[in-house]
Structure 1
């Protein structure tokens, strides 16, 4: 599944050093920690290829998690995380549901969700079902193939205020003719933003509240107010720094 999160890598974990983390060396110690410690203190949680046993323990103990970034080998993690009071979720639909036919955005897991980042694309038949997420205000994709899907998403998700395409590199262009066509139309909607993102952005958001979501919000506000070209949808590197 590494290709589906192409802008993340092991450096993301290295950047977390200095904060509580679980790996093969300390998983047993973590699992001996009283559950009350997790329940009272853990609001932001990143799980990267941890064992199913560790994931089960951490998630069941961290019952107050509101912001979850998860990548795991096991498919169909919905039974494990389904009861969390999530407001922000970063995941693969394939890992979450196990199969495209089982994708259900009306699941209670999404009832409080406002921010959703998908590491893979939504099957075409399920694109407009994103509108079933009642409070979805921020949506992000990391795959080029999503661009053509963005138009129906923006038209059906009335609560959506920010739609971000995260790319590995600012110079990475759309690869298909239909994506170029979609960009021409997407540029007219100020809610659509394209930007590059480094490996530590989730951590910075968890610690400081400043991340690609907040930079996109500020950029959109400037488009709407006319401070920048309303048709400019790409946040360049220098502009991103000025938005922080």
Structure 2
């Protein structure tokens, strides 16, 4: 080889570099797609991996994904395989757009469904999904939990926005999640927290979203942690990518508490000094 020849990376290393760049800095994905045919093949799969309403902290917007599905330029297997994390905001209309996307992206691993009134027409599409992480307003699913139960079968991490306060309904709903280990509740009263802790011993972590370090829960279980997070989309994306989200922080807090490293030992909220 001539001393003036440019260095040649092994193809596997070159692919790793481009894929890592696309994952870390999703805003450069459009430019990466123009580099070469082989780079396009690598990066296009990553482009649709994480979808949020307007592309916040993610690789793709909801509208971009929908246009790609409707173009029929990809096989159904493409979206089923490569769309892994989907955040649905507050759609308008009868839900047909969301239904179309859910049917096309049945391989979703994490789903955020921030929709206060889920139309009945969307329920069959939801029942085809098997996410491991699920976020949402599910008051409207309480009466339809049997229809959607297939979606709950492998969920390990669940975030609930609690609007209704009927404790029996929520306990019955949570009982349909056989693999649930991590639960976050937003907007719930302390009474519901106490009942969940008493009823679900298999839970490893129960996080209550709270902006204050309250002390209203007496004799609290050491699985319980209160955490405040400001940007829900960012928090969801961090968790979907395996980062240090509120559940990961809660796990570390619980471990330190059980080792006797928290003072006072009854504290159930994270402070800056904890280094978590």
With structure 1 as the length reference, what TM-score do the two structures score?
A: 0.77
Aligned match of 1:153: 196
2:271 to 220, 236, 239: 236
Shift of 1:17: 5.5
2:130 to 67, 85, 96: 85
Aligned match of 2:70: 31
For 1:32 and 1:105, how far apart are their aligned partners in 2?
A: 31
Is the CA contact 1:66–1:88 (under 8 Å) kept in the aligned structure 2?
Answer: yes
**For residues 12-23 of structure 1, what are the structure 2 equivalents within 5 Å?**
16=56, 19-23=59-63
- Gaps in structure 1 of 5+ consecutive residues: 1-11, 175-179
Is the CA contact 1:68–1:90 (under 8 Å) kept in the aligned structure 2?
Answer: yes
1:132–1:48 CA distance, 2 compared to 1 (3 A): closer
**Where in structure 1 do 4 or more consecutive aligned residues deviate above 6 Å?**
none
1:234–1:105 CA distance, 2 compared to 1 (3 A): farther
Shift of 1:185: 2.7
For 1:128 and 1:27, how far apart are their aligned partners in 2?
A: 36
| SS of 1:235 mapped into structure 2 | coil
For 1:213 and 1:237, how far apart are their aligned partners in 2?
A: 16
CA deviations 1:29-78 (Å, max 9, x no partner) are: 44225233211111111011235222112111111112100123543443
1:45–1:54 CA distance, 2 compared to 1 (3 A): same
Aligned match of 1:204: 238
2:84 to 21, 31, 43: 43
Shift of 1:124: 1.6
CA deviations 1:69-116 (Å, max 9, x no partner) are: 012354344322112111111011124x2xx44444992221111111
Tell me, yes or no, if structure 1 residue 223 matches structure 2 residue 257: yes
1:228–1:13 CA distance, 2 compared to 1 (3 A): farther
Tell me, yes or no, if structure 1 residue 193 matches structure 2 residue 225: yes
Considering only aligned residues, what root-mean-square deviation do their CA atoms show, in Å? 2.7
Shift of 1:16: 1.2
CA deviations 1:116-155 (Å, max 9, x no partner) are: 111125622224322342111011111042x211222112
| SS of 1:198 mapped into structure 2 | coil
| SS of 2:207 mapped into structure 1 | strand
| SS of 1:234 mapped into structure 2 | coil
| SS of 2:158 mapped into structure 1 | strand
For 2:65 and 2:87, how far apart are their aligned partners in 1?
A: 16
Aligned match of 1:140: 184
Tell me, yes or no, if structure 1 residue 119 matches structure 2 residue 161: yes
Aligned match of 1:7: none
The number of aligned residues is: 214
Is the CA contact 2:57–2:237 (under 8 Å) kept in the aligned structure 1?
Answer: no
For 1:92 and 1:110, how far apart are their aligned partners in 2?
A: 14
Aligned match of 1:75: 119
Aligned match of 1:8: none
Is the CA contact 2:207–2:224 (under 8 Å) kept in the aligned structure 1?
Answer: yes
